Amino acid sequence: MSTALLVVQVLNGLQLGLLLFLIAAGLTLVFGIMGCINLAHGVQYMIGAYLAVQFYAWTEHFGLTILLALATALLLGLLLEIVVFRRLYERDHLDQVLATFGIILFVNEAVKVIWGPVPLSLPAPELLSGSFVLMDGLLYPTYRLAILAAGLLVALLLWLVVMRTRVGMRLRAGATHPQIVSALGVDIGRLFMLVFAFGAMLAGFAGALAAPILSVEPGMGDNLLIVAFVVIIIGGIGSIKGAFFAALLVGLVDTLGRSLATDVLKLAFAPATANQIGPALASMLIYILMAAILWVRPTGLFGARTS
């Protein structure tokens, strides 16, 4: 494996990590603050991607598309919170799993009815559609670099909001001691609504960003959701910082694992065996990583709360 390929894979890994972070951020807050498992978070990512495709068809302007998709994702998040989620916070995890599972079934099917089962695509914006010369003979799509930049920017903004503002302070307090925050006179219901809708918007943003590089299809968020769960478990539930580092870790491990596992195994096994085990092992890598981390630290790397 050449250096050039390694650089590309590391960049791809970081890019996956940042997308994962956008999804995991909302998930870990809803999980950590409201104690609510939201399986439907993956469909919010999918909705973001579909909204982007739709708005682009109407406006043919990429920047406007992203803004509209963000606003609509936020509104849909609010709607979902008001109709279903605020009734779920007090329920046990099993009820939350079931109800959000029902939402997944509904939304995946609704998307199929509205946009059809065929995968759609969204062109990358003109300005970013070229390639960028990283080093001699190594081109990297500009749009992917833009995703990296956008992801880092959002991470920075989130960090500023969470660590430097009053709302952020309440969030952090709410993640560890919700009852006390409530007792101190913070309107916890409004805080919850805000967090939920904001998380939905972030997931939608991730979907809209990923739309030009992935195919937009029903169920596209479902597998990513599980990976996002792995991220927040590794990072520690409720910790934005944990979600950030765990997302990058998972993104890198997954991407590098997929490109390196077979080659590494060839050192120890016959090539035929390595070709067989390599891909299987690569796809299991992040789960093994999670199990190992939980074995050492049952509440994750930056976990504050035990359950």
Partner 1 sequence: MHDALELAATRPQSAALRSYAPALLIFVVLALVPPIALLGPEGYVLSLTTRMMILAIAVISLDLLLGHSGLVSFGHAAFVGLGAYVTGILITEGVVDAFTILGCVVAASALFALVTGAVSLRTSGVYFIMITLAFGQMLYFAASSLSAYGGDDGLTLWNNAQLLGTGVLDDPRGLFYAVLASLIGAFVLVDRLKGSRFGRVLNAAKSNPTRVTCLGFDVFRFRLAAYVIAGVLAGLAGFLSAVQTEFVSPATMSWHRSGELIVMVILGGMGSRNGALLGALAYVGLEELLSTYFAHWKLIFGPLLVLMVLYAKGGLGAVLAPLTGERPRG
* Interface positions with partner 1 (CB under 8 A): 31, 35, 37, 39, 84, 87-88, 91, 93-95, 97-99, 101-110, 112-113, 222-223, 226, 229-230, 233, 237, 276, 279-280, 282-284, 287-288, 290-291, 294-295, 298-299, 307
What minimum distance in Å lies between the beta carbon of 99 and partner 1?
Answer: 4
Long-range contacts of 160-166, Cβ-Cβ distance < 8 Å, separation of 24 or more? 162/240
Of 143, 119, 124, the C-alpha closest to 15 is 143
Q: Which is nearer to partner 1, 69 or 217 (CB)?
A: 217
Q: Is 125 exposed, middle or buried (0-12, 13-18, 19+ CB in 10 A)?
A: middle
**Phi/psi class of residue 219: alpha, beta or left (left: φ > 0; alpha: ψ in -120 to 50)?**
left
A 10 A CB-CB count for 231 gives 30
In whole angstroms, how close is the CB of 71 to partner 1 at the nearest point?
A: 25
> To which H or E segment does residue 239 belong?
none
Tell me the closest approach of the beta carbon of residue 192 to partner 1, in angstroms: 17
- 3-class secondary structure, 147: helix
Q: Is 212 exposed, middle or buried (0-12, 13-18, 19+ CB in 10 A)?
A: buried
Q: Specify the residue, 9 or 108, whose C-beta has the smaller distance to partner 1.
A: 108
DSSP classification of residue 123: P
User: What is the rounded CA–CA span in Å between residue 25 and residue 30?
Assistant: 9
Question: 120 - beta bridge partners?
Answer: 216
For the bound state, the minimum distance from the C-beta of residue 16 to partner 1, rounded and expressed in Å, comes to 15
Nearest to 232 by CA among 179, 173, 168, 304: 304
CB of 119 to partner 1, least distance (A): 16
Q: Which is nearer to partner 1, 59 or 283 (CB)?
A: 283
Instruction: Using the minimum distance from each CB to partner 1, give the nearer residue, 124 or 203.
Output: 203
Nearer CB in complex with partner 1: 16/148: 16
Q: Which is nearer to partner 1, 102 or 130 (CB)?
A: 102
Q: In the bound complex, what is the minimum distance in angstroms from residue 47's beta carbon to partner 1?
A: 15
